[in-house]
Amino acid sequence: MMKWYMPYPCYLRELKLLLREQRLVRQRRLIRLTVVMPNIPGSLSRLLDILAQTRINVVDVDIE
């Protein structure tokens, strides 16, 4: 049986990112937002414009 492992530096980097994310959530500086919108051209752009006007940084966008 082969054992799979993540090299230590990669594991450490992922752990640091996770801890940073948890800290930002506790400080109420990071939220997850789910938005349902119509599938028409420009709708995502308009949403991101609104968020930018309020000085909100978007870290990741997941489209399904």
pTM > 0.85: no
Per-residue pLDDT for 14 more than 80? Answer: no
Task: Enumerate the domain spans of the chain.
Answer: 8-53
Q: Which residues of 28-53 are buried (b: 16+ CB within 10 A; e: fewer)?
A: eeeeeeeeeeeeeeeeeeeeeeeeee
Angle CA 52–58–63, to nearest 5:
115
pLDDT at 50 over 60: yes
pLDDT above 70 covers what percent of the chain? Answer: 83
